[in-house]
């Protein structure tokens, strides 16, 4: 304990939802080598800096899909994280792979509410105490309670998220006397963010992820502050805090979002070498032309393209893909297999079943009329089928999809190839 109360500075650099976007995006932003350069520039002569990552490091690019995420963690070891938590997508290759991520990372990965049978923790520790600028900063990891509908029982087996607020508050209370500041590093949704701000008075600083849209400005309530940046490595967050060691809370702060753009900063050479090494492994497979796009497509339009592809390729009457399953835009111009992998990095399969008109989910029908007694074929992804009752999915229960239409990504590549021109 410091002998007298004092105010000390702390700078939290932070990222979230990097989603394996190791190379620059189509618009030139992002890329791990440029991100590393921005981070390193911020850390020069910074004696009070820590770097946190709020989960979903993997899933989103071919090297992640092909090698099940591990290369992304290897490259991320060059970014200099001090602590991180896991996101729902870090379980997309199964919990055993997520365990490998924890062992591969050269920084602690913490989560306070991811548990298995008997309540034992998935990560080695629920929190880590970082020592920086004379401060003891506790970083508690947290996973959204939605995890079960964002994953499948096969991937998670016994592992699940328990009450995120309860767990984090329990650890925060226990850490109070041993630390100068408690930070929540949460991969959580909007509702959970709001609950933390309104209820968790023991936790004055929240660094979050899961929602890919960054905040315009930090959110604050009663002297507590929450920050989150855009996903895919487009931004690095920089939260400068003046921490009162008696109150164990910040007395003031400023927050900046620093753009990551390899055209404005020299990308880090050592990171670029590793990125290129892994990219070379998959390039032959994914840098092949599939079609030409006459315009830019937003994810909401791509959802419709994917549903059309699913209908065309399987002969189904209806198709559905959840909007959250569409992971990228399509740029105008030459489309490569890589672009299809970027919009659909998941190894999801197309499945289909026959259902009476009266049993078809409303979200699938839209304003189309069907005969209640006639049978129709509906194609969805196996992920949708497994989570059909979720809000973002079919909001149905008990629909059985016994037909298998193959890997959704392959279905899309075939469809784009046949189309040739997308307009």
- Which residues contact Zn ion (rule: CB under 5 A)? 56, 87-88, 210
CA distances from 262 to 232, 294, 333, 396 (A): 14, 27, 22, 45
Q: Which is nearer to Zn ion, 169 or 210 (CB)?
A: 210
Nearer to Zn ion, 92 or 279 (CB): 92
Closer residue to Zn ion (CB): 87 or 405? 87
Nearer to Zn ion, 187 or 248 (CB): 187
At closest approach, how far in Å is the CB of 150 from Zn ion?
A: 7
d(CA 282, CA 22): 13
Q: Of 23 and 88, which has the nearer Cβ to Zn ion?
A: 88
Taking the complex as a whole, how short is the minimal distance between the CB of residue 191 and Zn ion, in angstroms?
14
Between residues 196 and 318, which has the closer beta carbon with respect to Zn ion?
196
CB of 146 to Zn ion, least distance (A): 9
Q: How far is the CB of 56 from Zn ion (least distance, A)?
A: 4
Q: Give the C-alpha separation, 406 to 70, whole Å.
A: 25
CB of 257 within 8 A of CB of 249? no
- Give the CA distances from residue 335 to residues 76, 288, 345, in Å, rounded to whole numbers and listed in that order: 28, 8, 15
User: How many residues are given for the chain?
Assistant: 423
Minimum Å distance from CB 47 to Zn ion? Answer: 32
Q: Tell me how far apart the alpha carbons of residues 283 and 281 are, in angstroms, rounded to a whole number.
A: 6
Instruction: Measure Cα distances from 232 to 15, 20, 21, 328 in Å.
Output: 9, 8, 6, 10
| Pairs from 219-228 (Cβ < 8 Å, separation ≥ 24) | 219/193, 221/197, 223/249, 223/250, 224/197, 224/249, 225/250, 225/253, 225/255, 226/193, 226/196, 226/197, 227/12, 227/14, 227/255, 228/16, 228/54, 228/193
Choose between 56 and 328: whose C-beta lies nearer to Zn ion.
56
Q: CB of residue 406 vs Zn ion: minimum separation in angstroms?
A: 26
Helix axes 269-286, 32-43, angle to 10 degrees: 170
Least distance (Å) from Zn ion to the CB of residue 206?
A: 16
- Output the six-digit token pair for 124: 């080695």
């Amino acid at each position: 304990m410091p002998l007298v109360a004092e105010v000390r500075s702390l700078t939290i650099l932070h990222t979230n939802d990097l989603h394996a976007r190791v190379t620059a995006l189509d618009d030139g932003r992002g890329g791990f080598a440029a991100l590393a350069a921005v981070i390193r520039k911020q850390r020069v002569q910074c004696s009070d800096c820590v770097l946190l990552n709020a989960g979903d490091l993997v899933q989103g690019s071919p090297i992640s899909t092909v090698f099940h995420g591990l290369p992304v963690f290897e490259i991320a070891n060059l970014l200099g994280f001090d602590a991180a938590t896991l996101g729902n997508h870090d379980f997309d290759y199964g919990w055993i792979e997520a365990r490998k991520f924890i062992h591969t990372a050269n920084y602690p990965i913490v989560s306070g509410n991811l548990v298995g049978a008997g309540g034992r923790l998935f990560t080695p520790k629920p929190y880590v105490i970082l020592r920086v600028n004379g401060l003891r900063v506790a970083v508690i990891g947290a996973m959204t309670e939605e995890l079960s509908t964002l994953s499948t029982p096969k991937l998670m087996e016994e592992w699940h998220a328990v009450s995120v607020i309860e767990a984090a508050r329990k650890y925060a209370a226990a850490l109070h006397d041993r630390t100068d500041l408690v930070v929540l590093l949460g991969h959580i949704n909007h509702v959970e963010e709001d609950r933390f701000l309104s209820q968790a008075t023991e936790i004055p600083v929240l660094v979050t992820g899961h929602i890919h849209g960054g905040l315009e400005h930090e959110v604050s309530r009663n002297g507590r502050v929450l920050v989150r940046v855009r996903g895919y490595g487009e931004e690095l967050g920089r939260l400068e805090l003046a921490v009162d060691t008696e109150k164990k809370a910040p007395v003031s702060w400023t927050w900046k979002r620093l753009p990551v753009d390899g055209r404005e900063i020299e990308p880090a050479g050592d990171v670029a070498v590793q990125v290129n090494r892994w990219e070379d492994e998959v390039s032959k497979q994914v840098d092949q032309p599939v079609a030409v796009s006459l315009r830019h497509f937003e994810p909401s339009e791509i959802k419709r393209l994917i549903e059309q592809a699913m209908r065309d390729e399987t002969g189904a009457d209806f198709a559905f893909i959840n909007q959250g399953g569409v992971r990228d835009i399509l740029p105008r111009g030459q489309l490569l297999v890589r672009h299809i992998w970027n919009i659909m990095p998941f190894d999801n399969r197309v499945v289909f079943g026959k259902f009476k008109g009266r049993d078809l989910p409303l979200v699938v029908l839209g304003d189309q009329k069907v005969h209640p007694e006639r049978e129709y074929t509906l194609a969805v992804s196996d992920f949708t089928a497994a989570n059909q009752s979720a809000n973002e999915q079919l909001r149905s229960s008990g629909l059985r999809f016994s037909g298998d239409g193959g890997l959704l990504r392959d279905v899309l590549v075939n469809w784009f190839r046949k189309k040739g021109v997308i307009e």
